[in-house]
């Protein structure tokens, strides 16, 4: 019998829902959000543990869990010996230094000798020493953004997403020290059978992510426009071109990348395409 792979997920927080949705899109079913601390998948050899995100790297390092999903900020800050096996593309944010809005800032040298409150002393310390800055780092575990207004520190270093928390606390972002997204981390020495399960999981995750990053496109064009359009739509190998019932016309089927979709679609229209349909792809396997 296969020993299940143990996967640690955040119990409740910014990573939880997207982590669950990722496994769901990979066809892996398990009970989630029931308040339980552990759940066994009904259709994949996996067991899920629901924990606080800060504890996940430690559990993975110790081998209590084989895999975990955390923000890169947490993975690096905890300093645990784990392997980052995949970037997951959600919970994107940045770790930034911010100061009161009215304070003049000419560059990082202005932070020399300043007091900075943060929950990320390791990441901040590495960044500052890399820039030759010695500052007084105050480690606090929450509500970092109020530190300057209560006189605890002259600056802060905290996670920023939209920037609205900084704005509403009268702060301005002056240095971005780290960019983060959710990552899958793994125990450093997985036994062979667990590595096989991880490979199966990564195969599914790649298919789901590729599908998310691409769209299926169908269009009609006069035959003389097909070579030009095909160049713009290379697809997975080459586009599928089939004749239309109307003489001299063809239909082109391909995939188009989500990132530069609007730019490319203009070029495709200019090359002679019409009747363009764009559809979501559920899974994409190269
Ligand atoms: O309870 P547990 O310890 O498990 O959760 P937590 O409260 O420590 O973490 P949680 O759920 O808040 O965040 C989990 C992870 O999500 C973080 O480690 C980041 O990798 C990522 N993430 C993405 C964020 C944000 N966006 C974010 N906006 N983590 C925190 N914030 C906070 C930030 O600390 C600040 O207070 O949101 C505020 C800033 O947001 P904006 O939009 O106002 O800029
Ligand atoms: Zn946490």
Supply φ then ψ for residue 6, to 5 degrees: -100, 125
**Does the CB atom of residue 181 touch ligand 1 within 6 A?**
no
Query: Is residue 137 scored above 80 in pLDDT?
Result: yes
Closest CA to 106 of 170, 174, 167, 169: 174
Long-range contacts: 193-197, Cβ < 8 Å, 24+?
193/2, 193/3, 194/3, 194/5, 194/66, 197/2, 197/4, 197/5, 197/45, 197/46
Q: What is the pLDDT of residues 174-193, one digit of tens each?
A: 999 999 999 999 999 999 99
Ligand nearest to the CA of 159: 1
**Does the CB atom of residue 283 touch ligand 1 within 6 A?**
no
- Give the DSSP letter string of 19-34: HHHHHHHTT-----SS
Query: Is residue 239 scored above 80 in pLDDT?
Result: yes
Kindly give the number of the ligand 1 atom that is closest to the alpha carbon of 91.
23
Q: Return d(Cα 95, Cα 179) in angstroms, integer.
A: 6
Kindly give the number of the ligand 1 atom that is closest to the alpha carbon of 164.
43
Give 234 or 96, the one with higher predicted confidence: 96
Q: Return d(Cα 42, Cα 228) in angstroms, integer.
A: 49
- The confidence score (pLDDT) of residue 25 equals 96
Range in 31-35, 134-138, 274-278 with the lowest mean pLDDT: 31-35
Using an 8 Å Cβ cutoff, are 271 and 226 in contact?
Answer: no
Q: Ligand 1, residues 8, 14, 141: which to mutate, most atoms within 8 A of Cβ? A: 14
Query: Is residue 1 scored above 80 in pLDDT?
Result: no
Q: What is the pLDDT of residues 43-100, one digit of tens each?
A: 999 999 999 999 999 999 999 999 999 999 999 999 999 999 999 999 999 999 999 9
Burial 89-117 (b: 16+ CB within 10 A, else e): ebbebbbbbbbeeeeeeeebeebeebbbb
- The confidence score (pLDDT) of residue 164 equals 98
**Does the CB atom of residue 118 touch ligand 1 within 6 A?**
no
Kindly give the number of the ligand 1 atom that is closest to the alpha carbon of 181.
20
Q: Ligand 1, residues 71, 145, 158, 182: which to mutate, most atoms within 8 A of Cβ? A: 71
The per-residue pLDDT of the chain, averaged, comes to 97
Kindly indicate the confidence band of residue 260, based on its pLDDT and cuts at 50, 70 and 90.
confident
pTM of the model as a whole? 0.93
Q: Return d(Cα 143, Cα 140) in angstroms, integer.
A: 8
Burial 236-254 (b: 16+ CB within 10 A, else e): eeebebeeeeeeebbbbeb
| Bridge-based pairing state of the strands 5-10 and 67-71 | parallel
Q: What is the pLDDT of residues 19-44, one digit of tens each?
A: 999 999 999 999 998 889 999 999 99
- The confidence score (pLDDT) of residue 13 equals 97
Distance of CA 250 to the CA centre of its chain: 39
Kindly indicate the confidence band of residue 286, based on its pLDDT and cuts at 50, 70 and 90.
confident
């Amino acid at each position: 019998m296969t020993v299940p792979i143990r996967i640690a997920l955040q119990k409740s927080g910014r990573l939880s829902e997207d982590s669950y949705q990722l496994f769901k899109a990979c066809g892996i079913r398990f009970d989630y959000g029931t308040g339980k601390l552990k759940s066994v998948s009904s259709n994949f050899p996996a067991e899920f543990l629901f924990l606080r995100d800060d504890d996940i790297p430690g559990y993975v390092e110790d081998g209590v869990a084989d895999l975990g999903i955390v923000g890169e900020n947490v993975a690096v800050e905890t300093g645990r010996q784990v392997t980052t096996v995949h970037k997951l593309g959600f919970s994107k944010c940045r770790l930034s230094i911010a100061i009161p809005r009215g304070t003049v800032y000419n560059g990082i040298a202005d932070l020399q000798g300043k007091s900075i409150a943060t929950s990320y002393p390791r990441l901040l310390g590495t960044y500052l020493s890399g820039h030759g800055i010695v500052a007084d780092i105050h480690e606090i575990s929450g509500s970092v953004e109020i530190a300057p207004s209560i006189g605890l520190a002259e600056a802060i270093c905290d996670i920023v997403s939209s920037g609205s928390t900084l704005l509403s606390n009268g702060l301005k972002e002056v240095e971005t020290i780290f960019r983060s997204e959710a990552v899958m981390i793994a125990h450093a020495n997985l036994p062979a059978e667990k590595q096989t399960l991880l490979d199966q999981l990564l195969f599914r995750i790649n298919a789901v992510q590729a599908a998310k990053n691409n769209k299926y496109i169908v269009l009609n064009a006069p035959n003389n426009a097909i070579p030009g359009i095909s160049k713009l739509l290379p697809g997975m190998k080459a586009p599928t071109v089939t004749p239309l019932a109307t003489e001299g016309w063809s239909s082109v089927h391909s995939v188009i990348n989500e990132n530069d979709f609007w730019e490319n679609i203009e070029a495709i229209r200019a090359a002679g395409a019409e009747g363009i349909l764009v559809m979501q792809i559920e899974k994409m396997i190269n």
